[in-house]
Chain A
Amino acid sequence: MFNKLLEKQFGKYLGEQKNISPGLLAFLEAVNDSYTHFEKDRNILKRTMELHASELTEANYRLREESEENKLVFKKLRESLLTLREEETDTKEIFKHDDLNLLSIAELLKKESERRKDAEWKLLENIRQLEKINKELDQFTYIVSHDLKAPLRAISSLATFLEEDLAQIMNEEAKENFGLLKNRVARMENFINGLLEYSRAAKSVNTEMVDTEQLISEIIDLLNAPEHIKIKVIENLPVLKTDKIRMEQLFSNLISNAIRYNDKEEGIIEIGCTEFEDWCQFYIRDNGPGIEKQFQEKIFELFQTLQTKDKNESTGIGLAIVKKIVEEAGGKIWVESEKNKGSRFVFTYPKLKSIEFIKTH
């Protein structure tokens, strides 16, 4: 069997196949073979060409896609670089030209990340430095307070010794002066104790579960308020993950202030709390003398008092301690008050999340 086309040609020129001599037939078979081979090769080549063409289109398509993607990346990179270095004019200058390639962007990014890393390191260093200074300051307060007490004790003792030894020959004025001397020594002792407490308010935190309702009732017992003052605690105060000693300092200062400065025949103090999702808002309300607007911020500063020290032995440290504790916990404190209408001290206190709780341990 020959190729159909060949057979037609053979028939046309050589007549019936059976009449062809065997020699010629062999030749024709050889021609047919090479013809078929050629056909096969052509088909293979054609197929190969087709394949290559589709692959080329495919590759082309992919390239186009990639280029679109690159354009997008490029755009995003430019945007992020601009936001990263908004303040730097040289970057803006560079980006005026659209012919920026990826390599120069990568270079810029590298520089920028180095700059950031450097800045971050400096920031950490500053924080470390600040922490150190703070610690030193608290240490300093502690040492000063501690060492001031020794000579004070000596003054106090010597005054007592003199008073005892000279009792027979002293007149009224001298006796009164000794009284004043001892009173001022006591005042200085209060100051030193207050400073000690203030420095302690910054010391390390031990977090535990604190039932504020129970804590407040313990503080009220301890403060032993006079008969004419009634303290009411609105129920359901929260249980907080916090430092118990600081919490105690916080409430005991606020409640004892409310007791101490109350000037009414029947003093009323109320303590309550509103809970929010992430934080609590406590208040301590009293019907005392109230605080004028102009002093409402000042009272939280160290050593600020509203009455002369002779009238009320106050050091002006208590509210500074309170503010320090609240702010270090991440809360805020303020007072709402009008003269003669009582005061309401309000502070917010964050609820420690369980993750943060684990972190601090």
Chain B
Amino acid sequence: MYNIMLVDDDQVDVMNVQRAFKKNNITNPLHVATNGIEALDLLRGTEGREKILPLPRIILLDINMPKMNGIEFLRELRADPELHSISVFMMTTSNDDKDKLDAYNLNVAGYIVKPVSFDKFVSAVSVLNSYWKLCELPS
């Protein structure tokens, strides 16, 4: 059961993901960071934070966050030899073409615009789950 990381600063959005995981019977441990800097600290074990071990294979990433946004975090991640192969799925409210382009240029595995309705979000997570089950990830 590999680790999954969620980087999102909105408490309700975090609850959304936790609930949607539960509804889809996704039992992987979910580690939450509220911005890019905190996420990097958790992945590297810096600034006194305990490093997540084993490293998560999947990161769910928001874009608009304080201190370090999702795109900036992605750039750091892709430049770090220990972290650059992690599969990242964008989960954001931004429907902006520039954000999409930036994200795909940094090799994200998917880009999902958060739906307003929770039911729609649950079915989106369900599709993601079956995709994760289908795909072979490096261990």
Task: Return the CB mask of B114-129 against A: 1 if under 8 Å, else 0.
Answer: 1111110100000000
How far apart are A151's CB and chain B's nearest CB, in angstroms?
A: 9
> In the bound complex, do residue B12 and residue A154 qualify as a contact, i.e. CB atoms below 8 Å apart?
yes
Q: In the complex, A361 Cα to B89 Cα: how many Å?
A: 37
Cα A146 to Cα B99 in complex, Å, equals 14
Q: Within 8 Å of chain A (Cβ to Cβ): is B107? A: no
C-alpha gap A11/B101 in the complex (Å): 125
Residues on A with C-beta less than 8 A from B12 are 153-154, 157-158
- The reply to whether A160 and B116 form a contact with Cβ atoms under 8 Å apart is no
C-alpha gap A186/B118 in the complex (Å): 11
A158 to B16, CA, bound (A): 9
For window 81-120 of chain B, which residues contact chain A by CB distance below 8 Å? 93-95, 114-119
Contacts A146-B93, A160-B119 given; indicate if A153 touches B114 (C-beta within 8 A): yes
Complex: chain B residue closest to A189, CB-CB: B116
Q: Which of B25-66 contact A (CB under 8 A)?
A: none
Contact: A185 with B94, CB < 8 Å?
no
Instruction: Flag if A161 contacts B119 (CB, 8 Å).
Output: no
> What residues on B are CB-neighbors of A149 within 8 Å?
93, 116
Number of inter-chain CB pairs below 8 Å = 41
B16 to chain A, nearest CB (A): 5
The answer to the question of A150 belonging to the interface, with a C-beta cut-off of 8 Å to chain B, is: yes
User: Is A30 close to B, CB under 8 A?
Assistant: no
Residues of B close to A182: CB separation below 8 A: 117
Report A243 CB to chain B, min CB distance, Å: 16
> What's the least CB distance linking A185 to chain B, in Å?
7
A61-B12 Cα distance, complex, nearest whole Å? 98
Q: Contact at B93–A153, with CB atoms within 8 Å?
A: yes
Contact of B117 with A156 in the complex, beta carbons under 8 Å = yes
Contact assessment for A161 and B93 in the assembled complex, using a CB-CB cutoff below 8 Å: no
CA of A182 to CA of B118, assembled, Å: 10
Interface range, A side: 10 to 19
- Cβ A146 vs Cβ B10 within 8 A: no
A189 to B114, CA, bound (A): 13
Residue pair A161, B19 in contact (C-beta under 8 Å): yes
B123 to chain A, nearest CB (A): 13
The answer to whether B16 touches A157 (Cβ under 8 A) is: yes
Q: What is the chain A residue whose CB lies nearest that of B64? A: A150
CB-CB < 8 A to A153: which residues of B? Answer: 12-13, 16, 93, 114-116
Q: Does A152 contact B (CB under 8 A)?
A: yes
Q: Which residues of A contact B93 (CB under 8 A)?
A: 146, 149-150, 153
Chain A residues positioned under 8 Å from B115 (CB to CB)? 153
Q: Does B1 reach chain A (CB closer than 8 Å)? A: no
Q: 9 closest pairs, A vs B, by CB?
A: A154-B12, A160-B118, A189-B116, A157-B118, A153-B116, A157-B16, A156-B116, A157-B12, A150-B93
Complex CA gap A149/B13 in Å reads 12
In Å, the complex CA distance between A153 and B13 comes to 8
Given A146-B94, A161-B15, A161-B19, are A154 and B10 neighbors across the interface (CB < 8 Å)? yes
